[in-house]
Amino acid sequence: MSKLLTDLIEALRCLPGVGGKSAQRMAFHLLERDRERGLKLADALREAMQRIGHCARCRNFSEEPLCALCASSSRDRHLLCVVESPVDLAAIEQATGYRGHYFVLHGRLSPLDGLGPEELGLAQLAQRLGEGQVEELIIATNPTVEGEATAHYLAQLAHAGGVRPTRLAHGVPLGGELEYVDRGTLAHAFGGRQQL
Amino acid sequence: MSKLLTDLIEALRCLPGVGGKSAQRMAFHLLERDRERGLKLADALREAMQRIGHCARCRNFSEEPLCALCASSSRDRHLLCVVESPVDLAAIEQATGYRGHYFVLHGRLSPLDGLGPEELGLAQLAQRLGEGQVEELIIATNPTVEGEATAHYLAQLAHAGGVRPTRLAHGVPLGGELEYVDRGTLAHAFGGRQQL
Ligand SMILES: [Zn+2]
Ligand SMILES: [Zn+2]
Q: Which pLDDT score, from 0 to 100, does residue B169 have?
A: 74
The mean per-residue pLDDT over the stretch B29-58 comes to 96
- A134, A79 contact by CB (below 8 A): yes
Q: Considering CB atoms only, which of A4, A90, A106 is closest to B63?
A: A4
pTM score, two decimals?
0.79
Average pLDDT, chain B: 91
> Are B41 and A11 a contacting pair at CB < 8 A?
yes
- B67, B60 contact by CB (below 8 A): yes
Q: What share of chain B has pLDDT > 90, as a percent?
A: 74
Q: B37 in contact with A at a CB cutoff of 8 Å?
A: yes
> Are A48 and B4 a contacting pair at CB < 8 A?
yes
Of B103, B100, B115, residue with least CA distance to B141: B103
Q: What share of chain B has pLDDT > 70, as a percent?
A: 97
Q: Which pLDDT score, from 0 to 100, does residue A103 have?
A: 98
- Rounded CA-CA distance B129/A74 in Å is 73
Distance of CA A152 to CAs A125, A138, A158, A159, B51, Å?
15, 12, 10, 11, 55
Of A126, A16, A76, A114, residue with least CA distance to B22: A16
Residue B196 has pLDDT above 90, yes or no: no
Q: Which of A182-186, B20-24, B89-93, B173-177 has the lowest mean pLDDT?
A: B173-177
Q: Which pLDDT score, from 0 to 100, does residue A167 have?
A: 87
Q: A30 in contact with B at a CB cutoff of 8 Å?
A: yes
Q: Which pLDDT score, from 0 to 100, does residue B95 have?
A: 83
Q: Which pLDDT score, from 0 to 100, does residue A116 have?
A: 93
- Rounded CA-CA distance A189/A196 in Å is 15
Residue A64 C-alpha from the chain's centroid: 17
Q: How far apart are the first and last CA of chain B?
A: 60
**Residue bearing the bigger pLDDT, B120 or A175:** B120
Residues contacting A16, CB < 8 A, separation 6+: B25, B26, B29
For the residues of B79-119, what is the DSSP string, one character each? EEEEESSHHHHHHHHHHS---EEEEE-SS--BGGGTB-TTT
R_g over Cα of chain B: 20
Q: What are phi and psi of B100, to 5 degrees?
A: -95, -160
Q: Where in chain B is the domain with CATH 1.10.8.420?
A: 3-51
Q: Which pLDDT score, from 0 to 100, does residue B173 have?
A: 67
Q: What is the DSSP letter of A170?
A: B
- Minimum CA–CA partner of A32 in chain B: B106
Q: Considering CB atoms only, which of A38, A43, A87 is closest to B28?
A: A87
Q: A183 in contact with B at a CB cutoff of 8 Å?
A: no
| CATH architecture, domain defined by A72-167 | 3-Layer(aba) Sandwich (3.40)
CA A82, A88, A90, A94 torsion-angle sign: negative
Q: Which pLDDT score, from 0 to 100, does residue B163 have?
A: 96
Q: Which pLDDT score, from 0 to 100, does residue B139 have?
A: 94
Contacting A residues, span 123-162, partner chain B, CB-CB under 8 Å: none
Q: What is the mean pLDDT of each run of 10 residues along chain A (196 residues)?
A: 93 95 94 94 98 97 96 96 93 89 96 92 96 94 90 96 87 72 76 74
Q: Give A-chain residues touching B16 at CB under 8 angstroms.
A: 25-26, 29
Residues contacting A181, CB < 8 A, separation 6+: A91, A172, A173, A189
- Rounded CA-CA distance B8/B17 in Å is 16
Residue B186 has pLDDT above 90, yes or no: no
> How much is the ipTM here?
0.81
Query: Tell me: domain B3-51, CATH 3.60.110.10, correct?
Result: no
pLDDT band at B174; cut points 50, 70, 90? low
Q: Where in chain A is the domain with CATH 3.40.1360.10?
A: 72-167
Interval B124-171: pLDDT, tens: 999 999 999 999 999 999 888 899 999 999 999 999 999 999 988 766
Give the burial class of B131: count Cβ atoms within 10 A of its Cβ; 0-12 exposed, 13-18 middle, 19 or more buried: exposed
